[in-house]
Structure 1
Amino acid sequence: MKKSLCLLLIPAFFILCLSSCGNESNECAYQPDISDIKINIEIERLEDDLLSVESKTELREFLKDNPVVTEIFLKRNQYPDDSIMMEALFKRFKNPHIDTLKSEIDRVFGDLSALKADITTAFTNLKYYYPDFETPKIQTVATGLDHDLFVSDSLIIIGLDYYLGDSAKYRPLGLYSYMLERYRPQYITPSIMLLYGISPMFNKTDVSDKTILADMIGYGKSFYFAKHMMPCTPDSVLIWYSNEEIEGARENQDIIWAHFLENQLLYETNHMVKKKYIDERPKTFEIGEKAPGRIATWLGWQIVRQYMEENEDITLQGLMQEPNARKIFDDSAYRPERR
């Protein structure tokens, strides 16, 4: 299993303190007692080696030793052959501006202690719910803004240069401003947990069900999963909404739901229709100018929450193993009240 955040678009999520509650209502999920669970997280830093290569021989050895970085982060398949790739990459990493990028990473992330603490807490919670879970190898890298995040069951690679935040001298290219919002340090660990939550390793789904409801519930389960791995992380951070957007969605939940019912969207299978409500967009204009994008995934999260409130005997693991989206919806008795 491997996932790429920018391709997955959950639906393609650190300046905020992830260990304390924010100002959103209903902020914290259940916090289990994890005091007896000990895990050891080590982060291998590859960026120093890559950004300071002195010869093509050094670069070639690095690429050979780190095939995922080569294939995913440095996009090997975009080059006609390896010799052309070597020329292009060596020129890139000998560019004098690389020193600026390295200093930016050091300024924002320092010794990675904050990131390490966040990941440790999330994985400790994960170990509580899934005792057989084995922590993956974790690496960081910087490739000149080529890729953000790679997550598999055995390996996580974080492109630190993607997550330098608003004050960075260099930001990822080709992304709209609303998409750049999530590329800040505080979004790294939530994004990892969301990718775990959407993966078949934890989230069982019925792949034959092509309805928008199935997608909504699948993503809703992933948000619910991630929230329990990071119980007091604001909902807005998990779903990449602003505080204004998350509050607006909550206050207008009945209007959003009415739109889905009136337009008979729940069992829609048309790909182009589904994209309007699930894929990356600044707004869901079909509902209104202030309705945030990916609104169907947020709505799916609320249905899953209601399902768990209505069925207290079902565990997190039980939820994640339930592939029947229609059953989850029916048993949720989800009916938001008009305000």
Structure 2
Amino acid sequence: MALYSGMVYLYKRDNMAHICIKSIILSLIFIFLAGCNKEDKLEKEIAEIPVTITIERFDKAFSKVDQKTLPALKQQYPFLFPEKYQDSFWIQKVADTLQIELANQVAKKYPDLSTLKIKLEGLLQHAKYYFPEITEPRVITITNDVDYHNKIILADDLLLIALDTYLGKDHYFYESIQEYIRRNFKSDQIIPDIATVYAKQLVSLSKSRTFLSNLVYYGKVQYLIDLFLPKYEEYTKLGYSPEQLEWVRVNEEQIWRYFIDKETLYSTDADLSPRFLYPAPFSKFDLEEIDKEAPDRIGRYIGWRIVASYMENNNVSLRQLLMMDAETIFNKSKYKPRN
């Protein structure tokens, strides 16, 4: 009888455990589905925002210009023809062998921009959802002598896209450019680069010169990029490869410990930004076994994590975030690195 009672007890206990596990799984599924429904509803609302753009192919028009058609092109795009240059300069430029090859390579890589147009409209819909004051820009594609410092230019509702800086990282035009710079000279980086330009126009530079202020500045920028491009891979939004992002994730706790141990957060050492925030071959910890493995701009990822943690743990609006100082954001973020 005791044995029977014990078996009944074990059965009930196991059955209860099974029910508890099942309840937990069902709860997690419910939470997941609720989150998905919320995201789907948001995306549907964003998709209804009217945005229509036309991409003007100045790059193609300029490659075909001659003495006769130049005046009309200058009248259509006066901002692309500085007055200090006479017409003869532009005619000579069009006939230049390198310019011809550049135009040919761009035309070959980008015969049609319909996909880019759709993606850009999606980006603008998301940007306008969060910031309705954003207006639809006049979008113009150009070639710019591979000036990678000005791949995307946004000014006075003009959006200029230098297609000659997106021909692919291994293109022969980029042979003299360092690998860490040209690795993002690819077509799928155009939209993230445009999102970055929009985000930087919305985030004010801090007057503080501390490393923490710079971390949070880039964190805010990255947070906006993430909102503008929710369906893009995280590594693409960071300008990383999948392997680089994985390295940062795996080593996040060690990175944070280094920043704390070296007392970098409230330091005003101007050398910290080039080491951890700016494009470079790698982030510079001055540790030989780490430096050549660590991707550059590692501080931007940490800043993003701090800002995302702040928004998750505080009931504040997006505009309040942009106005908030770095120290308050950090102190209230409850940020904890992944381990």
Deviations 1:182-217 (A, max 9, x none): 111111111111111122xx2245x32111111111
Determine the structure 1 residue equivalent to 2:9. none
| Offset of residue 61 of structure 1 | 6.0
Secondary structure, counterpart of 1:170 in structure 2: helix
- Counterpart CA distance in 2 for 1:186 and 1:114 is 11
Number of positions where the alignment pairs a residue of Structure 1 with one of Structure 2: 293
Determine the structure 2 residue equivalent to 1:51. 63
Determine the structure 2 residue equivalent to 1:209. 208
Secondary structure, counterpart of 1:271 in structure 2: coil
**Structure 1 residues 36, 60: closer, same or farther in 2, change over 3 A?**
closer
Larger helix proportion, structure 1 or 2?
Answer: 2
Determine the structure 2 residue equivalent to 1:284. 283
Determine the structure 1 residue equivalent to 2:306. 303
Identical pairs, percent:
26
- Counterpart CA distance in 2 for 1:269 and 1:49 is 49
Paired residue type of 1:194:
T
Unaligned runs of 5+ in 1: 1-28
After superposing the two structures, state which structure 1 stretch, 111-120 or 57-66, moved more.
57-66
CA contact (8 A) 1:30 1:231 kept: no
**Structure 1 residues 40, 276: closer, same or farther in 2, change over 3 A?**
same
- Counterpart CA distance in 2 for 1:166 and 1:284 is 21
Is 1:267 aligned to 2:266, yes or no? yes
Determine the structure 1 residue equivalent to 2:186. 184
**Structure 1 residues 209, 166: closer, same or farther in 2, change over 3 A?**
closer
- Counterpart CA distance in 2 for 1:153 and 1:203 is 17
Secondary structure, counterpart of 2:115 in structure 1: helix
**Structure 1 residues 36, 82: closer, same or farther in 2, change over 3 A?**
closer
Determine the structure 2 residue equivalent to 1:293. 296
- Counterpart CA distance in 2 for 1:276 and 1:239 is 17
| Offset of residue 132 of structure 1 | 2.9
Determine the structure 1 residue equivalent to 2:197. 195
TM-score, normalisation: structure 1: 0.78
Determine the structure 1 residue equivalent to 2:129. 128
Deviations 1:252-287 (A, max 9, x none): 000000110011111111212332222221111315
Is 1:148 aligned to 2:151, yes or no? yes
- Counterpart CA distance in 1 for 2:79 and 2:261 is 46
Q: Spell out the pairing of 1:1-339 with structure 2 (5 A cutoff).
A: 32=42, 33=44, 34-55=46-67, 58-59=69-70, 62=73, 65-70=76-81, 82-83=85-86, 89-96=90-97, 98-146=99-147, 147-166=150-169, 168-171=171-174, 175-199=177-201, 202-205=202-205, 207-286=206-285, 288-289=290-291, 290-311=293-314, 313-320=315-322, 322-337=323-338, 339=339
- Counterpart CA distance in 1 for 2:277 and 2:97 is 41
**Relative contact order (alpha carbons < 8 A, sep ≥ 6): 1 or 2 greater?**
1
| Offset of residue 219 of structure 1 | 0.8
- Counterpart CA distance in 2 for 1:218 and 1:125 is 21
Secondary structure, counterpart of 2:47 in structure 1: coil
Considering only CA atoms, is the larger Rg found in Structure 1 or Structure 2?
Answer: 2
CA contact (8 A) 2:275 2:283 kept: yes
CA contact (8 A) 2:94 2:100 kept: no
Paired residue type of 1:275:
P
